[in-house]
Amino acid sequence: MDDPIIPFDLQRMFMGDHPALFYLEIVVRVGIIYLYTLVLLRWVGGRSVAQLSMIDFLLVIALGSAVGDAPFYPDVPLFAAMTVITTVVGINKLIDQITERWDSAARVVDGEAVAVASQGRLLPDGLALRDISPTEIKSMLRRAGISNLGQIEAAYLESGGGLSVFRRRDPLPGLRIVPPQHIQADEPLQDTGTASEGRACCTTCGELRRAEAVLPHKPCRTCGHRDWTQAALAEDSEPGLLD
């Protein structure tokens, strides 16, 4: 029968049952596994975190398990861990070569760029395809320097997760996204007489309509929401691209 666990036993908490020399072995194990994994990753080729594909993320997860067990479990031989690491990296390298050779395989593995905004409005179908909300895409657009949806000619969510934004030379009146809604909510538009140039925009997707055609509370033909606000004209800004 196992001995009962004594709470706050400092010997058990910090040292365990291992002899002191085993901690030197841990240092050696970590060094070997670290250097071996580094060599293999150099062979695969490095990419920034923003450029990691789905397969690269899978590689990180798989390597985390293989690399993490070997250094401090005495019953895990180093050669076994190195075999797992080599196999995982080899599969990743093979998939990379396949996707470089065949575009159809790349689309299956990494996906494709999806249009999420066009001509000053968000595209619900594109957002749904990537399972991303209007609030999230507006946050990404703000990081790209967009303050009003009317500045956008087109925006694409790339397969690697980056957002490419192309600005209009002449911005349209549109939905402001700066400051964010939780800081300053859009003022509901109730009267067509108060609409600037008689224009209103949907508070969700930014679709631009004549105020008399949508007030009060008619559904947006793009996203179906019924809340409208006054369309604002963004200040001029330089075209930009965020990848």
pLDDT one-digit tens code per residue, 40-73: 777 766 554 445 666 777 777 777 777 777 776 7
pLDDT one-digit tens code per residue, 139-163: 999 999 999 999 999 999 987 778 9
Count of C-beta atoms within a 10 Å radius of residue 110: 15
pLDDT one-digit tens code per residue, 68-113: 777 767 777 788 888 888 888 888 888 888 888 888 877 777 778 8
Strand order in the sheet with 121-122: 121-122, 114-118, 152-157, 163-167
DSSP per position, 16-72: TT--THHHHHHHHHHHHHHHHHHHHHHHH----GGG--HHHHHHHHHHHHHHHHTTT
Task: Kindly state the tokens that stand for 118.
Answer: 């066009």
> Which has the minimum average pLDDT: 110-114, 115-119, 130-134?
110-114
Over residues 18-41, the mean pLDDT reads 83
Task: Kindly state the tokens that stand for 23.
Answer: 């901690």
Count of C-beta atoms within a 10 Å radius of residue 115: 14
- How far apart are alpha carbons 202 and 95 in whole angstroms? 44
Q: How far is CA 117 from CA 37, 149, 163, 205, 207, in A?
A: 41, 9, 11, 9, 10
Over residues 33-45, the mean pLDDT reads 77
Handedness of CA 193, 196, 199, 201 (dihedral sign): negative
CATH: 3.30.70.100, 3.30.240.20, 3.30.420.240, 3.30.930.10. Which one for 114-233? 3.30.240.20
Q: Write down the H helix ranges in the chain.
A: 10, 21-44, 54-69, 78-101, 103-110, 124-129, 134-143, 211-214
Task: Kindly state the tokens that stand for 35.
Answer: 């250097």
What is the per-residue pLDDT for 60?
Answer: 77
Instruction: Return the domain boundaries, the chain.
Output: 20-108, 114-233
pTM, whole model, 2 decimals? 0.67
